[in-house]
Structure 1
Amino acid sequence: MPGPSGNASNHWKIRMALQIGNFTIGEGRAFIIAEIGNNHNGSYDLAIELIDQAIQAGADCVKFQMRHLAQVYRERSLNKAGEDLGSEYIVDLLQRFELSKEEHRKLKVYCDSKDILYLCTPWDSDSLAILEDMQVEAYKVASADLTNVPLLEELAKTGKPLILSTGMSKTEEVEHTVAFLNERKTAFALLHCNSTYPAPFHDINLRWMDGLRKIHPVIGYSGHERGIAVSIGAATLGAAIIERHFTADREMEGPDHAASLEMPEFKQMVDGIRQVEEALGTGAERTLSQGEMINRENLAKSLVAAYPIKKGIEITAEHIKVRSPGQGLAPHFYDELIGKTAKRDMEFEDFFYPADLSENALEPRDYDFERPWGVPVRYHDYASFAERISPDFYEFHLSYSDMDLKLEDYLQGQYDCDFVVHAPELFAESRLMDLATPDENERQKSIFETQRVIDITRTLKAYFPKTKRPMIVANIGGFTMDAPLPDDEISGYYERFAKSLNELDRKGVELIPQTMAPFPWHFGGQRYQNLFVKIEEILHYCKLLDLRMCFDISHSALTCNHLGLDFYDFAEKIAPISAHLHLGDAEGLNGEGLQIEDGNLDFARLGKILNKGCPNAPFIPEIWQGHKGRGEGFWIALERLEGKL
Structure 2
Amino acid sequence: MKTLLDQLYIFEMANNHQGSVEHGLKIIDATAKIARKHQIKAAVKLQLRELDTFIHPDYKGRTDVKHIGRFESTRLTMDDFQRLVEAIREQGLVTVATPFDEQSVQTCQALGVQVLKLASCSATDWPLISAIADANRPVIASTGGLSIYDIDNLVSYLHKRAPAFALMHCVSLYPTPNERIHMNFLNKIMRRYPYVSVGYSGHEAPDNLEVAMAAIAKGARLLERHIGVATPDIQLNTYSLDPEQADQWVAAAERMRAICGASEEKHVIQNEKDSLRELQRGVFVKRNIAQGEEIRSEDVFFAMPCAEGQLTSGEFGQLRAHFVASRDYVTGSAVFEAPKQDAMRLIRGILHDAKGQLYEAGISLGDDYTVEISHHYGLPRFRETGCILVNLINREYCYKLLIMLPGQKHPPHMHKQKEETFCMLWGDLSVNLHQQDTQESVNLKPGDKLLVPRGTMHDFATRSGAIFAEVSTHSIVGDSYYAHPEIAELDPMQRKTILESW
For Structure 1 versus Structure 2, the TM-score category normalised by the shorter chain is 0.5 to 0.7
Displacement of 1:148 after TM fit? 1.8
Percentage of matched positions with identical amino acids: 22
Q: Paired residue for 1:246, among 227, 233, 245?
A: 227
The answer to whether residue 94 in structure 2 is matched with residue 117 in structure 1 is yes
How far, CA to CA, are the matches of 2:227 and 2:85 in structure 1? 17
Residue in 2 that maps onto 1:108: 85
Q: CA deviation at 1:167?
A: 0.7
Aligned partner of 2:202: which letter? Answer: G
User: Does the 8 Å contact 1:51/1:111 carry over to 2?
Assistant: no
Determine the structure 1 residue equivalent to 2:269. Answer: 289
Query: Offset of 1:96 from its aligned partner?
Result: 4.3
Shift of 1:76: 5.4
TM-score (norm 2): 0.56
1:229 maps to a residue whose letter is E
Which residue in the other structure is 1:275 paired with?
258
Partner Cα distance (1:139, 1:350) in 2? 71
Q: Which residue of 194, 199, 202 maps to 1:220?
A: 199
- Per-residue CA deviation, residues 280-325 of structure 1 (Å, 9 max, x unaligned), is 6244xx5632222221232322112456655455435354332123
Compared with structure 1, are the counterparts of its residues 356 and 100 closer, same or farther at alpha carbon in structure 2 (3 Å cutoff)? closer
Report what 2:424 is aligned to. Answer: none
Shift of the 132–248 alpha-carbon distance from structure 1 to 2, 3 Å rule, reads: same
Q: Residues 180 and 341 (structure 1 numbering): CA distance in 2 closer, same or farther, change over 3 Å?
A: closer
Q: 1:33 to 1:152 in 2, by over 3 A?
A: same
- Aligned partners of 2:248 and 2:16: how far apart in 1? 16
In structure 2, how many angstroms separate the alpha carbons of the residues matched to 1:160 and 1:259?
Answer: 28
Q: Which residue in 1 is equivalent to 2:13?
A: 36
Taking structure 1 as reference, are residues 179 and 329 closer, same or farther at Cα in structure 2, changes over 3 Å only? closer
- Answer whether contact 1:299 1:326 (CA < 8 A) is retained: no
After superposition, residues 553-568 of structure 1 pair within 5 angstroms as: none
Residue 47 of structure 1 corresponds to 27
What is the CA deviation profile of residues 62-100 of structure 1, one whole-angstrom value per residue up to 9, with x for unaligned ones? Answer: 2122233343334555423543xxx1xx44444444554
Which has the larger Rg? 1
Unpaired segments ≥5 residues, structure 2: 343-502
Q: Is the 8 A contact 2:281 2:302 kept in 1?
A: no
Q: 1:273 & 1:108 partners in 2: Cα distance?
A: 31
Residue in 2 aligned with 1:354? 337
Are the counterparts in 1 of residues 228 and 240 from structure 2 also a CA contact under 8 Å?
no
1:60 match: secondary structure: strand
Instruction: Give the letter for the 2:30 counterpart.
Output: L
In structure 2, the residue matched to 1:142 is: 119
Aligned mates of 1:230, 1:329 — CA distance in 2 = 47
Deviation at 1:329, TM superposition (A): 0.9
The equivalent position to 2:218 in structure 1, one of 229, 237, 243, is: 237
Residue identity matched to 1:246 = I
Q: Secondary structure at the match of 2:29?
A: helix
SS in 1 for 2:272: helix
- Larger mean CA deviation between 262-271 and 67-76 belongs to 67-76
> How far apart are 1:348 and its partner, in Å?
5.7
Aligned partners of 1:297 and 1:325 also within 8 Å:
yes
Once the two structures are superposed, residues 206-236 of structure 1 have per-residue CA deviations (whole angstroms, 9 ceiling, x without a partner) of: 2223443426841322122242333333333
How many Å separate the matches in 2 of 1:356 and 1:125? Answer: 69
Kept after mapping to 1: 8 A contact 2:212/2:249 = no
Match of 2:462 in 1: none
Q: 2:129 aligns with which of 122, 136, 152?
A: 152
- In the superposition, the TM-score normalised over structure 1's length comes to 0.45
SS in 2 for 1:154: helix
Match of 2:303 among 299, 308, 322: 322
What is the match of residue 66 of structure 1? Answer: 48
8 Å contact 1:44–1:99 — kept in the other structure?
Answer: no
CA distance in 2, matches of 1:343, 1:81: 93
Residue in 1 aligned with 2:148?
171
Give, in whole Å, the separation in 1 of the partners of 2:267 and 2:30: 43
Residue 334 of structure 2 aligns to which amino acid in structure 1?
F
Aligned partners of 2:145 and 2:35: how far apart in 1? 30
Per-residue displacement from partner, 1:419-451 (whole Å, max 9, x unpaired)? xxxxxxxxxxxxxxxxxxxxxxxxxxxxxxxxx
Q: Decide whether aligned partners of structure 1 residues 180 and 331 sit closer, same or farther in structure 2, where only a CA change above 3 A counts.
A: closer
Could you tell me which amino acid in structure 1 is paired with residue 29 of structure 2? E
Post-superposition Cα deviations, 1:523-582, rounded to whole Å, max 9, x if no partner, equal xxxxxxxxxxxxxxxxxxxxxxxxxxxxxxxxxxxxxxxxxxxxxxxxxxxxxxxxxxxx
Contact 2:326/2:337, CA 8 A, preserved across alignment: no
Amino acid at match of 1:49: D
Is the contact made by 1:122 and 1:140 (CA closer than 8 Å) also made in structure 2? yes
Give the secondary-structure state (helix, strand or coil) at the position aligned to 1:239: coil
Q: Which residue of 1 aligns with 2:246?
A: 263
- SS in structure 1 of the partner of residue 334 of structure 2: coil
Q: CA RMSD of the aligned region, Å?
A: 3.5
Distance 1:321 1:171, change over 3 A: closer
Alpha-carbon distance change, 49 to 339 in structure 1, aligned in 2, over 3 angstroms? closer
C-alpha separation in 2, matches of 1:307 and 1:119: 75
SS at match of 1:191: strand
Correspondence for 1:331 among 305, 313, 336: 313
Paired amino acid for 2:117: K
Contact 1:139/1:162 (<8 A) preserved:
yes
The 2-side partners of 1:74 and 1:266 are apart by: 39
* Deviations 1:581-612 (CA, angstroms, capped at 9, x unpaired): xxxxxxxxxxxxxxxxxxxxxxxxxxxxxxxx
Q: 1:199 aligns with which of 176, 184, 202?
A: 176
CA contact (8 A) 1:178 1:216 kept: no
Greater percentage in strand: 2
Question: Equivalences for 1:618-637 in 2 at 5 Å?
Answer: none
Code of the residue aligned with 2:139 in structure 1: it is L
Aligned to 2:466: none
Alignment-mate amino acid for residue 155 of structure 1: I
2:283 matches 1:300:
no
Shift in Å at residue 140 of structure 1? 0.5
Q: Deviations over 1:259-291 (max 9, x none)?
A: 6772321331441354255x26244xx563222
Check the 8 A contact 1:32/1:241 in 2, yes or no.
Answer: yes
1:80 to 2:59 alignment: no
